[in-house]
Amino acid sequence: MFNKITMKDTIRIDPIRFGQPLEDAAFEELRAKYEGLVDEKLGYVISVIDLTVNPVGRILPGDGGTHHSVTFSILTFYPELQEVVEGEVVEVADFGTFLRIGPVDALLHVSQLMDDFISYDEKQGVLLGRESGRTIQRGDLFRVRIVAVSFPRGRSSGKIGVTARQPFLGKLDWIEEENKANQPQEEKEEEV
């Protein structure tokens, strides 16, 4: 889920930025500090959106920079357990696929794809269901449920696990086919 979070902090404006407008210097400092950060409480920090900086700063003994209080908003992505999301397949491997959900990739393991034996065709980069004939390749769109989230500290990416083995989850084309197959006969005739 994407969130807009308002925060307060004190930033240090380096003396080399004293010639810049204060807001521009503050934006640069906040971007360097927060963008790309992965945190258990905030999630994945995507961008600093806006800010209000106090023009009156403090100078600390032994420090040539000025310290200003700021109120700012950040855009974050916080994957929540049991949340249903849609993503695009960005990589296919013998053990599963990676889906791009928001700004990060989530692992969709082969055991969580479908109720079928799955084989991997390395030449074509495709996962293939033996009995169903269904294929998974780069660019496919999936609807999945988040079942595991790991937030490391700092700027590493963390890990997200998802499943497609529940009703109304899976490749969007498969969901559409199943919905059409399960419609009552009268509704199918009206569509034609």
Q: pTM value?
A: 0.77
Residue 23 binned pLDDT confidence (cut-offs 50, 70, 90) = very high
The CATH number assigned to the domain holding 147 equals: 2.40.50.140
Residues 88 and 73 occupy one common structural domain: no
The CATH number assigned to the domain holding 48 equals: 3.30.1490.120
Q: CA nearest 34: which of 21, 26, 79?
A: 26
Helix (H, G, I), strand (E, B) or coil at 179: helix
The per-residue pLDDT for range 85-97, each reduced to its tens digit, is 999 999 999 999 9
Flag whether pLDDT at 26 surpasses 90: yes
Domains of the chain: total: 2
pLDDT score for 12: 94
Residue 187 binned pLDDT confidence (cut-offs 50, 70, 90) = low
Q: CA nearest 104: which of 72, 41, 136, 152?
A: 152
> Reading across the β-sheet that carries 126-129, which strands appear in turn?
118-121, 126-129, 135-136
User: Residue 21: which domain range?
Assistant: 2-77
Average pLDDT over residues 153-174: 83
DSSP state, residue 2: E
The per-residue pLDDT for range 95-138, each reduced to its tens digit, is 999 999 988 899 999 999 888 888 998 888 899 888 888 899 99
Domain presence at residue 37: yes
Domain final position from 77, 108, 135: 77
Share of the chain above pLDDT 70, in %: 93
Q: Which residue has the tokens 């600093």?
A: 48
SS (H, E, C) the chain: CEEEEEEEEEEEECHHHCCCCHHHHHHHHHHHHHCCCEECCCEEEEEEEEEEECCCCEECCCCCCEEEEEEEEEEEECCCCCCEEEEEEEEEECCEEEEEECCEEEEEEHHHCCCCCEEEECCCCEEEECCCCCEECCCCEEEEEEEEEECCCECCCCEEEEECCCCCCEEHHHHHHHHHHCCCHHHHHHHC
Residues 55 and 8 occupy one common structural domain: yes
